[in-house]
């Protein structure tokens, strides 16, 4: 027996027991698979780790928590069931919660009280709380505080305990119960914030749902929403992304508008790219005409010129609506009297043509045997017919790859939308919208909302990749030197 | 018949002439929502009666870069924000309409008007402003048994109070001191330093500046104050929200942040401490409305500007707690005396505009680049890499290069 890399194999393979040989081969296969999987896992951790960390942080109340902890209240099943219960009590909505007329929300909070200290009921307040930044800080809103009434606190449990963070200090765990009731008629408010402030010496231990934050050096337990519903609790930052950022005038959810714009932009860009790139690719691959080589070189050249070189001239073209003569802009003819800035049409105009896509399609068409077309030619098919009915259907894999690459490019495109779409807010695409998020909320340290928005914007591309990864890889191989 | 036709034609012409649309370019953030509410609730109806409609275009990202782009591309709005730190540069483009004889600026706080005055001509009307103030954590001072800072504090008594708070424990500090001119500068002014001499040069070896730098950085080296990054925060407000520092030296913008991140923090606000010069030092951070000289509807734009900074508009903005107004007459507004910590903070910040050595957050035509050498010097001293003298003479050399280039 000799060994290589920890695997032993028989020296003399001629007199081999076939079963031993099979076993040896099986071991080898497993070792290979193990190695490959280990390498892939390492890659996955390196690449997916940051996304995963962002996703986990995005549900935290304080995503900047340092050092970061994995004991996240939002991930504890105990809080899920409690928040669903509270949501049902607050507004009959187990998912998103709220505070509606007639609601009575029961709540419990437990403190550790040192031996010898009087047990004083903590002070419970429903504060008037509004967002610190963004449109939410300015737009008129309803406050739960105007309708809420906090009932008396009663002690429901007392239990001797030794447990305290600082060591074995004797004392007891005291649980207080109270209700928050909606008095009278009024609007349903989105949330019911709650502040519970205890005497110095009482240590917060637990409550119906875990406190959002402890303030005043541990004295005040603050709850963002005491009637959140399970989604409202776990995905609070996500709910805020949709609810809090609205246009001042029409109260439309800006994030939804941005998602819509991004989809529209991506859709039309895909359609235009597929159509133009496949036609151009076909012409360059199959038609013989004077200057074909030169045009192909031009296409390649266009791909080599960096965007930054062209953007000023292209910006001016958009501003002037192609060309402006004595103040009359040519784009008036198709409905843009003020030029084509700040319109998705203008954006498509400068981004939809893609030399790389033409190149991919040309390469693919060249790989289709000529005989297929010659057969169609004998049947009397014109160039157009051959392109549309014969070659294009055969190019489905290339078109699929192109679709995905184009979608990803359009969805993530930042540079052009940033230049072209400056106002109004409702004209922006998602990446530019996320930049406004950063400006609005980054300044006040409200990163939860920004992270939630970023994770949401990454979702379509992640889903796309998981579902269509085969096409992604094909796209890469078409782009490479496949004959 | 003919007269009727003429009449209709005339009416259409008049109507057309009056229907004017004015665009405003300004910051993103909550400004778009504030403007929409201001128009809806206060000034919009009157302007609409005069046939003027207003649209707001927020510029996201780097406002100054975006504004310069828009000015050079000819797409800038009729009215645009002029941030104080880049005001001289923006005015130098010649695209800002001089307001002398167009708008009466005598009702506005002098130092604010001055920040937008170049060669005796006023180019902008400050829409609102901020100054620095001392915000203190009442719980921490109580726990430390130290009297909270007050308006009579000098640098020495203020530092002693901070020492008292930082004695509470290893993770508690008196204050967060960032290594940046945008906060430190107020202390330099308190020591009596003037950033520019008659020739427009800056002297970093001036004893007043050396004294301020020494005081500011010594507190950090002593462990009484801490740089925000050393406790995992990006700015002073972040430190303050964690209950780890006794005071934060910030403007009224900290209020919105605290509402979000530390809604229960018990804080009070007082004026900046009195410096060795016998005066407080402070910055004016502000932004003004300016009118585009290329605006096709210049008169209407001026009219909109007037409406936006009118007493009614400013009073509304103040009473909604959105910003601090630039008109002197609002000093006595009952809002300031509401007794809430937020109203008190606003009052102190308002009063800061003309209390002691107050300068705009401005660097002539050099722009914000002027701060870089000083900021690096502060970092070097705070982290013990060099002494005050070494760091300042190094910074002087760097600053001279910047100033020579602009010249």
pLDDT tens profile A427-439: 999 999 998 888 8
Contact between chains at A220 and B264 (C-beta distance less than 8 A) = yes
Contact between chains at B29 and A315 (C-beta distance less than 8 A) = no
pLDDT confidence of residue A11: 58
Give me the residue label for tokens 């995005």.
A58
Give the mean pLDDT of A452-461: 92
Token pair recorded at residue B126:
């400050």
pLDDT confidence of residue A476: 56
Asked which of A170-184, A286-300, A467-481 is least confident by mean pLDDT, the reply is A467-481
Which residue of chain A is at minimal alpha-carbon distance from B230? Answer: A66
* pLDDT(B11) > 50: no
User: Taking a C-beta distance cutoff of 8 angstroms, is the pair A272, A357 a contact?
Assistant: no
Neighbour count for residue B203 (Cβ, 10 Å): 16
| Band of residue B272 on the pLDDT scale cut at 50, 70, 90 | very high
Contact between chains at A130 and B259 (C-beta distance less than 8 A) = yes
The CA distance from B66 to the nearest CA of chain A, in Å, is 9
pLDDT confidence of residue A469: 76
Share of chain A above pLDDT 90, in %: 49
pLDDT confidence of residue B200: 85
Domains of chain B: 21-129+284-337 (3.40.190.10), 133-283+355-406 (3.40.190.10)
pLDDT confidence of residue A307: 84
* pLDDT(A425) > 90: no
* Interface with A, mutate which of B23, B31, B32, B294 (most A CBs under 10 A): B32
Please compute, for residue A287, the number of CA atoms within 13 A of its CA located in the half-sphere on the CB side. Answer: 17
| Band of residue B31 on the pLDDT scale cut at 50, 70, 90 | confident
The CA distance from A194 to the nearest CA of chain B, in Å, is 11
Give the mean pLDDT of B47-65: 88
Contact between chains at B32 and A425 (C-beta distance less than 8 A) = yes
| Measured distance CA(B316)–CA(B325) in Å, rounded | 9
Which residue of chain A is at minimal alpha-carbon distance from B245? Answer: A217
Contact between chains at B243 and A418 (C-beta distance less than 8 A) = no
- Return the SS3 of A184: coil
User: Taking a C-beta distance cutoff of 8 angstroms, is the pair B41, B316 a contact?
Assistant: yes
Closest in A129, A319, A435 to B73, CB measured: A319
Residue (of A378, A28, A26, A89) closest to A232 by Cα position: A89
User: Taking a C-beta distance cutoff of 8 angstroms, is the pair B78, B297 a contact?
Assistant: yes
What Rg, from alpha-carbon coordinates, does chain A have? 32
The CA distance from A197 to the nearest CA of chain B, in Å, is 9
- The angle subtended at Cα B7 by Cα B1 and Cα B13, nearest 5°, is 140
Residue (of B154, B179, B368) closest to B270 by Cα position: B154
* pLDDT(A4) > 60: no
Helix H or strand E encompassing A392: helix A392-394
Closest in B36, B241, B320 to A248, CB measured: B36
* Interface with B, mutate which of A139, A314, A444, A449 (most B CBs under 10 A): A444
The phi-psi region of residue A211 (left if phi > 0; otherwise alpha if psi is between -120 and 50; otherwise beta) is beta
B111-153 residue pLDDT tens: 899 999 999 999 999 999 999 999 999 999 999 999 999 999 9
* pLDDT(A481) > 50: no
pLDDT confidence of residue B216: 97
* Interface with A, mutate which of B264, B267, B316, B318 (most A CBs under 10 A): B264
Give the mean pLDDT of B307-320: 91
User: Taking a C-beta distance cutoff of 8 angstroms, is the pair A423, A342 a contact?
Assistant: yes
The CA distance from B33 to the nearest CA of chain A, in Å, is 5
* pLDDT(A50) > 80: yes
pLDDT confidence of residue A259: 96
pLDDT confidence of residue A8: 54
Number of A to B CB contacts under 8 A, please give it.
Answer: 116
The CA distance from B60 to the nearest CA of chain A, in Å, is 6
pLDDT confidence of residue A5: 47
The CA distance from B213 to the nearest CA of chain A, in Å, is 27
Contact between chains at A216 and B139 (C-beta distance less than 8 A) = yes
* pLDDT(A45) > 90: no
B330-366 residue pLDDT tens: 888 888 888 899 999 999 999 999 899 999 999 988 8
Q: Got the DSSP string for B188-215? A: HHHTT--SS-TTS---TT-HHHHHHHHH
Residues of chain A contacting residue B341, judged by C-beta atoms under 8 Å apart: none
| Measured distance CA(A217)–CA(A436) in Å, rounded | 34
* Interface with B, mutate which of A439, A442, A447, A453 (most B CBs under 10 A): A439
Give the mean pLDDT of B306-317: 92
Instruction: Name the residue with higher pLDDT: B248 or A470.
Output: B248
pLDDT confidence of residue A160: 86
Residue (of A6, A211, A445) closest to B236 by Cα position: A445
Asked which of A185-189, A469-473, B131-135 is least confident by mean pLDDT, the reply is A469-473
Give the mean pLDDT of B282-290: 95
Residue (of B254, B257, B236, B264) closest to B174 by Cα position: B236
* pLDDT(A480) > 70: no
The CA distance from A222 to the nearest CA of chain B, in Å, is 8
Which residue of chain B is at minimal alpha-carbon distance from A447? Answer: B261
Which residue of chain B is at minimal alpha-carbon distance from A217? Answer: B243
pLDDT confidence of residue B33: 82
* Interface with A, mutate which of B30, B240, B241 (most A CBs under 10 A): B30
B192-201 residue pLDDT tens: 999 998 888 9
Give the mean pLDDT of B251-273: 91
pLDDT confidence of residue B311: 93
Share of chain A above pLDDT 70, in %: 93
Contact between chains at B139 and A443 (C-beta distance less than 8 A) = no
* pLDDT(B18) > 70: no
Which residues of B fall below an 8 Å CB-CB distance to A? 28-30, 32-37, 55, 57-61, 66, 73-75, 139-140, 143, 232, 234, 237-238, 241, 243, 253, 255-266, 320, 322
The CA distance from B85 to the nearest CA of chain A, in Å, is 18
A233-259 residue pLDDT tens: 999 999 999 998 888 778 889 999 999
Closest in A133, A193, A219 to B256, CB measured: A133
| Band of residue A18 on the pLDDT scale cut at 50, 70, 90 | confident
Neighbour count for residue A11 (Cβ, 10 Å): 8
| Band of residue A167 on the pLDDT scale cut at 50, 70, 90 | low
| Measured distance CA(B380)–CA(B385) in Å, rounded | 5
| Band of residue A310 on the pLDDT scale cut at 50, 70, 90 | confident
The CA distance from B172 to the nearest CA of chain A, in Å, is 11
Helix H or strand E encompassing A40: helix A18-57
Q: What is the pTM of this model?
A: 0.83
Residues of chain A contacting residue B68, judged by C-beta atoms under 8 Å apart: none
pLDDT confidence of residue A164: 52
Token pair recorded at residue A295:
């045009």
* pLDDT(B29) > 70: yes
* pLDDT(A474) > 80: no
Residue (of B76, B71, B78, B74) closest to B47 by Cα position: B78
| Measured distance CA(A251)–CA(B362) in Å, rounded | 38
Instruction: Confirm or reject CATH 1.10.3720.10 for domain A254-479, answering yes or no.
Output: yes
What residue ranges of chain A are covered by domains with CATH 1.10.3720.10? Answer: 254-479
* pLDDT(B378) > 80: yes
Q: Report the Cα A347 to chain-centroid distance in Å.
A: 23
Which DSSP category does A413 fall into? -
Asked which of A167-171, B61-65, B267-271 is least confident by mean pLDDT, the reply is A167-171
Backbone angles phi, psi at B57, to 5 degrees: -120, 105
- The angle subtended at Cα A213 by Cα A210 and Cα A218, nearest 5°, is 100
């Amino acid at each position: 027996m000799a060994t290589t890399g920890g695997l032993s194999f028989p020296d003399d393979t001629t007199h081999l027991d076939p079963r031993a040989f099979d076993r040896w081969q099986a071991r080898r296969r497993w070792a290979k698979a193990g190695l490959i999987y280990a390498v892939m896992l390492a890659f996955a951790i390196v690449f997916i780790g940051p996304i995963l960390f962002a996703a986990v942080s995005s549900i935290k109340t304080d995503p900047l928590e340092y050092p970061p902890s994995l004991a996240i209240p939002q991930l504890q099943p105990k809080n899920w069931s409690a928040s669903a219960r509270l949501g049902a009590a607050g507004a009959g909505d187990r998912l998103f919660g709220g505070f509606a007329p007639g609601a009575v929300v029961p709540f419990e909070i437990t403190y550790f009280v040192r031996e010898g200290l009087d047990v004083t009921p903590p002070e419970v307040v429903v504060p008037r709380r509004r967002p610190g930044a963004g449109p939410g800080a300015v737009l008129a809103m309803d406050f739960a505080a105007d309708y809420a009434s906090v009932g008396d606190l009663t002690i429901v449990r007392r239990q001797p305990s030794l447990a305290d963070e600082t060591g074995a200090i004797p004392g007891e765990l005291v649980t207080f119960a109270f209700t928050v009731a909606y008095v009278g008629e009024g609007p349903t408010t989105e949330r019911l914030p709650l502040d519970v402030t205890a005497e110095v010496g009482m240590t917060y231990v637990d409550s119906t749902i875990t406190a959002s934050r402890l303030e005043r050096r541990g004295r005040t337990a603050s709850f963002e929403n005491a009637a959140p519903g399970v989604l409202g609790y776990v995905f609070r930052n996500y709910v805020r992304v949709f609810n809090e950022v609205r246009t001042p005038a029409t109260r439309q959810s800006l994030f939804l508008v941005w998602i819509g714009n991004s989809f529209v932009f991506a859709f039309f860009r895909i359609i235009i790219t597929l159509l133009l790139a496949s036609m151009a690719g076909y012409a360059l691959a199959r038609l013989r005409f004077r200057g074909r080589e030169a045009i192909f070189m031009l296409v390649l050249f266009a791909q080599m010129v960096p965007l930054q070189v062209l953007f000023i001239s292209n910006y001016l073209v958009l501003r002037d609506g192609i060309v402006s003569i004595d103040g009359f802009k040519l784009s008036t003819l198709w409905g843009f009297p003020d030029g084509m800035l700040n319109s998705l049409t203008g954006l498509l105009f400068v981004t939809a043509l893609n030399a790389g896509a033409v190149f991919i399609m040309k390469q693919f068409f060249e790989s289709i045997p000529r005989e297929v077309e010659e057969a169609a030619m004998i049947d009397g098919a014109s160039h157009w017919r051959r392109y549309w009915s014969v070659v294009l259907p055969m190019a489905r894999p290339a078109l699929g790859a192109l679709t995905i690459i184009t979608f990803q490019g359009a969805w993530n495109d930042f540079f052009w939308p940033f230049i072209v779409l400056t106002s109004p807010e409702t004209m922006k695409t998602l990446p530019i919208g996320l930049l406004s998020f950063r400006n609005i909320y980054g300044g006040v340290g409200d990163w939860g909302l920004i992270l939630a928005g970023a994770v949401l914007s990454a979702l379509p591309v992640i889903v796309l990749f998981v579902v269509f990864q085969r096409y992604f890889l094909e796209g890469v191989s078409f782009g490479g030197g496949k004959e | 018949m003919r007269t009727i036709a003429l009449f209709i034609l005339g009416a259409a012409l008049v109507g057309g002439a009056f229907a004017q649309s004015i665009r405003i370019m300004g910051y993103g953030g909550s400004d778009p929502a504030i403007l929409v509410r201001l128009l809806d609730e206060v000034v919009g109806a009157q302007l609409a009666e005069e046939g003027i409609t207003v649209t707001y275009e927020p510029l996201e990202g780097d406002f100054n870069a975006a504004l310069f782009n828009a000015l050079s591309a000819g797409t800038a709005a009729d009215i645009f924000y002029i941030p104080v730190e880049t005001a001289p540069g923006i005015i130098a483009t010649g695209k800002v309409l001089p307001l002398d004889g167009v708008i009466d600026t005598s009702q506005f706080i002098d130092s604010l008007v001055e920040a937008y005055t170049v060669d005796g001509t006023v180019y902008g009307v400050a829409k609102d402003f901020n100054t620095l103030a001392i915000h203190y954590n009442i719980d921490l001072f109580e726990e430390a048994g130290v009297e909270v800072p007050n308006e009579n504090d000098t640098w020495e008594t203020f530092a002693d109070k901070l020492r008292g708070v930082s004695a509470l424990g290893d993770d508690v500090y008196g204050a967060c001191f960032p290594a940046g001119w945008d906060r430190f500068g107020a202390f330099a002014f308190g020591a009596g330093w003037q950033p520019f001499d008659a020739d427009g040069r800056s002297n970093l070896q001036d004893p007043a500046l050396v004294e301020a730098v020494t005081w500011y950085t010594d507190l950090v080296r002593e462990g009484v104050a801490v740089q925000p990054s050393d406790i995992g925060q990006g700015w002073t407000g972040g430190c303050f929200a964690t209950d780890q520092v006794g005071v934060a030296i910030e403007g009224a913008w900290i209020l919105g942040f605290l509402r979000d991140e530390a809604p229960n923090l018990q804080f009070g606000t007082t004026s900046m401490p009195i410096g060795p010069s016998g005066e407080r030092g402070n910055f004016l951070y502000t932004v003004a409305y300016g009118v585009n000289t290329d605006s096709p509807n210049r008169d209407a734009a001026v009219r909109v500007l007037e409406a936006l900074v009118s007493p009614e508009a400013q009073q509304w903005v103040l009473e909604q707690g959105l910003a601090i107004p630039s008109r002197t007459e609002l000093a006595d507004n009952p809002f300031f005396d509401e007794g809430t910590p937020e109203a008190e903070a606003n009052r102190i910040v308002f009063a800061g505009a003309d209390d002691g050595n107050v300068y705009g957050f401005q660097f002539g035509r050099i722009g914000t680049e002027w701060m870089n050498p000083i900021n690096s010097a502060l970092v070097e001293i705070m982290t013990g890499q060099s002494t005050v003298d070494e760091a300042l003479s190094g910074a002087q050399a760097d600053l001279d290069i910047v100033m020579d280039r602009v010249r």
